[in-house]
Amino acid sequence: MVLKQRKKVEALPGCPMSKCMDLLGGCWTPEVLWSLSGGPRRFSELRRDSPFISAKVMTSRLRDLEQRGVITRTVMPTSPPTVEYGLTGLGQELLPAIRSIVEVGTRLLLREVSAVSEQEEADEQCSMR
């Protein structure tokens, strides 16, 4: 039996997964994008959403994401000036991937909590004997 030859399909230059991970792979980047998924936020609000991120690192992430076209930075004409950050179209495109990661993480946490509860119940039953 002779195998049918497939038509040659032109490959994309580079790896699509790597291209996406270049945007998402930075330290704290998914957390920042997740915070912005609900709408534009000020710097202090982003810091409140992610208290473990230092101001220096948060500033660095925001600048990097703005340069890459993932977020926008809008200076409001107030006194003192305030700045809001929001997602661009590209940032919105990344949200389904982050949402999927959050869903899997939630299930993993629930399994962990369930396993701890089951272990505590087993320990309790053993101590009653």
Residue 113 confidence (pLDDT): 87
Is pLDDT of 100 > 70? yes
Say how many residues make up the chain.
129
Task: Please state which of the four CATH numbers 1.20.58.710, 1.10.10.10, 3.40.50.2020, 1.10.260.40 is assigned to the domain occupying 18-128.
Answer: 1.10.10.10
The b/e string for 22-46 (b: 16+ C-beta within 10 A; e otherwise) is ebeebebbbbbbbbbeeeebebeeb
Q: What is the pTM of this model?
A: 0.75
pLDDT band for position 15 (cuts 50, 70, 90): confident
Could you tell me the two tokens for 43?
Answer: 């710097």
Lowest mean pLDDT among 73-77, 92-96, 120-124: 120-124
Mean pLDDT of all residues in the chain? Answer: 87
